[in-house]
Amino acid sequence: MPRDPNTLSNYDDVRTTHVVANFEIDFEKKRLVGSVLLKLKSLTDNLKSVVLDTSYLDIESVGVEDRTSKFTVAPRSEPYGSPLTIQFDKSISKGEEIEIDISLSTTSNCTALQWMTPEQTPNKKQPYMFSQCQAIHARSVLPSQDTPDVKATVDFNFRSPLPVVASGLPTGAKDYLPGKDGKPGTMLYTFKQEIPIPSYLFAVASGDLASASIGPRSTVWTGPEELKDCQWELEDDMERFMEAAESIVYPYAWTQYNALILPNSFPYGGMENPIFTFATPTIISKDRQNIDVIAHELSHSWSGNLVSNASWEHFWLNEGWTTYLERRIQAAVHGEPHRGFSAIIGWKALQDSIERFGEDNEYTKLVVDLKGKDPDDAFSSVPYEKGFVFLYHLENLIGKTKWDKFIPHYFETFRMKSLDSFEFKKTLIDFFASDAEASKKLKDLDWDKWLFSPGYPPKPDYDESMVKACYALSDAWESRSKGSKTEFTPKPSDIDGWVANQSVVFLERLQGTQTLSAADIELMGKTYAYDTSSNVELVSRFYVLALKAKCHSFYKPTAELLGTVGRMKFVRPLYRCLNEVDRDLAIKTFLKNKEFYHPICRQMVEKDLFS
Please name which of 232, 187, 192 lies closest in space to residue 212, comparing C-alpha atoms: 232
CA distance 469 to 464: 10
Is 340 labeled as ligand-binding?
Answer: no
Would you tell me how many other CB atoms lie within 10 Å of the CB of residue 110?
22
CB neighbour list of residue 162: distance below 8 Å, 6 or more residues apart: 25, 27, 126, 127, 206, 207, 208, 209
567 known ligand binder: yes
Q: How does strand 210-215 pair with strand 258-261?
A: unpaired
Q: How far apart are CA 65 and CA 503, in angstroms?
A: 61
Question: Is 187 a known ligand-binding residue?
Answer: no
Q: How many residues does the chain have?
A: 611
Distance CA 378, CA 364 (A): 9
Q: Using CB atoms within 10 Å of the CB of residue 524, give its burial: 0 to 12 exposed, 13 to 18 middle, 19+ buried.
A: buried
Give yes or no: 194 in active site.
Answer: no
Rounded CA-CA distance 166/193 in Å is 9
Three-state helix/strand/coil letters over 54-109: CCCCEEEEEEECCCCEEEEECCCECCCECCEEEEEEEEECCCCEEEEEEEEECCCC
Taking the alpha carbons of 144, 149, 153, 157 in that order, is the dihedral positive or negative?
A: positive
Is 132 marked as binding a ligand? yes
Q: Is 240 annotated in some ligand binding site?
A: no
455: alpha, beta or left? (left if phi > 0; alpha if psi -120 to 50) = left
Q: What is the greatest pairwise CA distance in the chain?
A: 87
In the set 226, 233, 297, 313, the catalytic residue is 297
Secondary structure of 101-158 as H, E, C letters: EEEEECCCCCCCEEEECHHHCCCCCCCEEEECCCCCCHHHCCCECCCCCCCEEEEEEE
Answer yes or no: is 525 a known binding residue.
no
Cβ atoms of residues 202 and 153 within 8 Å: no
- Rounded to an integer, what distance in angstroms lies between the CA atom of residue 23 and that of residue 36? 8
Number of H helices, E strands in the chain: 18, 21
Instruction: Report the C-alpha gap between 103 and 112 in whole angstroms.
Output: 19
3-state secondary structure (DSSP) of residue 53: strand
Residue 134 assigned to a binding site: yes
DSSP 539-551: HHHHHHHHHHTT-
The answer to whether the annotation marks 194 as part of a ligand binding site is: no
- Burial code (b: 16+ CB inside 10 Å, e: under 16) for 288-305 equals bbbbbbbbbbbbbbbbbb
Instruction: State the catalytic residue, choosing from 257, 384, 530, 543.
Output: 384
Instruction: Identify the helix (H) or strand (E) that includes residue 412.
Output: helix 400-413
β 276-279/258-261 pair status? parallel
Annotated catalytic residue 384: yes
> What are the residues whose beta carbons fall under 8 Å from the beta carbon of 43, sequence distance 6 or more?
12, 13, 14, 15, 94
**Is 296 annotated among the ligand-binding residues?**
yes
Residue 96 marked ligand-binding: no
Q: Measured between alpha carbons, how far is 313 from 520 in angstroms, rounded to an integer?
A: 44
Contact 7, 146 (CB under 8 A): yes
For residue 568, say whether it is annotated as part of any ligand binding site.
yes
Q: Which residues are annotated as a binding site for a peptide?
A: 132-134, 267-272, 567-569
Q: Which residues are annotated as a binding site?
A: 132-134, 267-272, 296, 300, 319, 567-569
Residues annotated as catalytic are 297, 384
Q: Which residues are annotated as a binding site for Zn(2+)?
A: 296, 300, 319
